[in-house]
Structures are given as C-alpha cells and as structure tokens.
Amino acid sequence: MIWIEEPLVFDADFHRDPYRVYDRLRGQEPVQRVKVSSRGHHTWLITGYAQARAALTDPRLSRDTRRFGHLFGDRRDIAPALRDSMLATDPPDHTRLRRLAAPAFTASAVDRLRPRIQQITDQLLGAIAPKGAADLINEFAVPLPVTVICELLGVPEHDRPQLRRWSNALFTTADAATRDQAAHHINDTMAVLVAHRLHRFETGAAHQGEDGDLLDALITARANGDLLNQQELVSLAVLLLIAGHETTTNLIGNAVLALLLHPAQHTAIADHTVSDSDGLVPAIEEFLRYDSPLGIATVRFTTCPVAFGPVTIPAEQIVMISLGAANRDPAHFTDPSALDLTRTRPRQGHLAFGHGPHYCLGSGLARTEAHIALTGILRHLPHLHLDTRPQQLAWRPSRMMRGLLTLPVRWQPHT
C-alpha cells in the first residue's frame, strides 16, 4: 500500500486554488490516503480521471450512508439532509427511487420549463442591468435556480428565504451542530409541504393526472405498481431542493468568473451570443469541466478491498472522489488547466455530473438554466468585468462544492 504522509489537504488556502493541490497529489499517485483534518483524520482521495470514472461505476464502492455513515465518527463530512435520499442508497433501492423520479426530468419535461426560466432570468437581469454593478452570486446566480426549484416543488414564497439560508449553511458552515440544525429545519419544512399535498390527494381535493407541479407528479409517480412513501417523498424533495440550486449557482458563478479571467474568449463568445446562443452549448461543457460545480469531492465507501493499479483501498473506508481533479487530469484532457471554449470533447467526457448509476438526474435542467442565464448575462450586461482582485474572491469552504460566496462585477448599462 502506498502511504504518503501529506500536509493537510483542506488547509486555509485550499479553496483559493484547489487545482494546485490536486495536481500535486495526482502527480504523486492518483489514488492515495491523505490527511483531511488537523486532528489527524485520514481519508482516501481519488484525483485521476480513469480511477474516478471506474470508482463511480464500481459496485464494490457504496453510496449507502445509512450503512457506512458511522465511518465519519463525529465528523459530519456530508450534508445530513442527504443521508436518506436516493443519492445515499445503492441498487436495488436506488434503482426504484430513481425510476420513480426520472419522468419529471426528461428532455420534454425540462423543455416545458424553458419559458418560465426565461421569465425569471429576464426579471432578475432587468432589475440589476440599469445599476451597472452587482454581486452576481447573490443578486442573480442564487435566486435564479432557487426560484426555479422552489416553483417546481411548489414551495410557498414565504418559506423560500429561510430554506435558502439553511441550505447554504449545509455547505458553508464548519460547525456540525449548525449544519444538523439546518438539515432538520429543511427536512421539517419539506415534511409539512409533503404531508399537506398527500392530504389533498387522499381527500380527493387533488386528482391524479391533474396539471400540478413536480411534487404532485412525484406523489402520483408509479413504477410496477409502486408509489413513493411519505418519508421517501420528503427525502426526495429535500434532495431536489439542495441538489437543484447550490450546484447550478456554482455553475453560473464559476462560468462567469472563467470568462472574466479570459477576456479574449469572453469577447468572442459575447459577440457571437448577441445573434446566436448556440455557441454556448459546447462552452457550457467546458465551464463544467474547467471549474466543476461539485468539484471538490463526492463520497463513496468501500464494501471490500478495492485495487486501483498499485494501490488497494481496504474495506470500510471513506473514499473522496474529486470530480474537479479528474476533469483536470492531463492523462485524459489535453492542456487541462487551460479554458478552451472550442475544445473538442474526448470520447469519454467530463465527470462534472458524475457517472454511472448516480449520474445527475437534473443535468438537463441545469444545462438549460445555465444556457438561459449565460445568454442573458452576455446580452444584457455589456463590458462585464470583475470589480475586485481575483485573489480577494471568497470561495465556499465546502468539501463538496466548488463555488464563490460573492462575485462583485461592473458593466456599462445600456443607455
């Protein structure tokens, strides 16, 4: 076994440039045991593309946090609200939960949401465009996906600001008690919502097939005569709420930052997007690869010893798979640290949405939201530039998400 005693991976400087750390680790050994806390905790970390891709489809690596959550001890490395969700189960449970939810995320279901996403985008940009300056994260990249997913789930408007704050706390607060509290609040709010909807169906106040929202569709979703039970519905609603906005916020924020730091590509794509936004479709894939929204790491647990080339991870270990590091692996992508919006994709593409059974269910929705959002920004915020020094940007101190806390920008308002 290769055992490299490392300095702390997630040190105070880590989030400013995680790729510097990940490149160094991958160069030593793409699968290795690393130190993740000053109290001496160690975890396995995968930084290579081939190894990450293999790990994401290997049934010997579990996602079941009910079975393996104890491995974290008193450290709460994953969002507690996600512990009972589809993302925290293995087949066959996972297969059933995913099959019931999947119809809500087909290409045609996402297409039906397009006009409303466009309307929300126009409203948000319409409010900030005349100002000439804004924090693009909190005034645009946060409210857009939050509004979309809350409307989809039928979350009442008065619950949204609180849900947003609690969800944010899950990924930014270091304090485990605060995270647990936030998770419970989210769970309780969604449980009340689900109970209310189920009651409407049970009392005949709502009918199957009625033109309701996503929650109604999930309540009536059936596969082989199966229905989601109340707890499963709550878990799914919580998962969608959280997965549905933090990541999309990061995609929009990271993409805009990448453009601002690459002025020639920014100008080229902005000029092109004025008349035709098709060029943004491959560009969004490059943004996803270059600075992946769920780029710090996702988690698995070994059910038995698993060999990756010369390295064998023993059974019952936490394995962090860094999708962001995998997407910058020079063994798979040419010149991976360069942003290249015209990059031709290798046959096996980026891993920003994961791979295998847990591949992101909302990838179509996320791509659509990002496309509409970036088109709007490029068209309505001309001569956009950063209003702070890049070194001063504040990143989320998360071990999953790669995203900015704020993005101060300026532009020249249309006269």
Enumerate binding residues for ligand HEM (CB under 6 A): 56, 86-87, 98, 149, 239-240, 243-244, 247-248, 251, 293-294, 298, 323, 352-354, 358, 360-362, 365-366
Nearer to ligand HEM, 289 or 411 (CB): 289
Nearer to ligand HEM, 293 or 411 (CB): 293
Locus of tokens 């309505």: 380
Beta strands in 2-137 (DSSP E): 31-35, 42-46, 61-62, 133-135
Nearer to ligand HEM, 32 or 298 (CB): 298
Beta strands in 131-237 (DSSP E): 133-135
In angstroms, give the least distance from the CB of 317 to ligand HEM.
16
Nearer to ligand HEM, 42 or 99 (CB): 99
In angstroms, give the least distance from the CB of 294 to ligand HEM.
4
d(CA 222, CA 361): 17
Paired with 321 in beta bridges are 46, 298
Identity of residue 255: A
Question: What is the side-by-side strand order in the sheet with 298-302?
Answer: 31-35, 42-46, 318-321, 298-302, 61-62
92 preceded by a cis bond (ω within 30 of 0): yes
Nearer to ligand HEM, 117 or 182 (CB): 117
Locus of tokens 């270990």: 317
Nearer to ligand HEM, 129 or 373 (CB): 373
Q: How far is CA 321 from the centre of its chain?
A: 14
Phi, psi angles (nearest 5°) of residue 18: -65, -25
Give the H or E element holding residue 313: strand 311-313
In angstroms, give the least distance from the CB of 138 to ligand HEM.
18
Nearer to ligand HEM, 55 or 129 (CB): 55
In angstroms, give the least distance from the CB of 410 to ligand HEM.
26
d(CA 69, CA 66): 6
In angstroms, give the least distance from the CB of 213 to ligand HEM.
13
In angstroms, give the least distance from the CB of 173 to ligand HEM.
21
d(CA 316, CA 301): 6
Residue number, nearest CB to ligand HEM = 362
Coil, strand or helix: which one is 408? strand
In angstroms, give the least distance from the CB of 133 to ligand HEM.
26
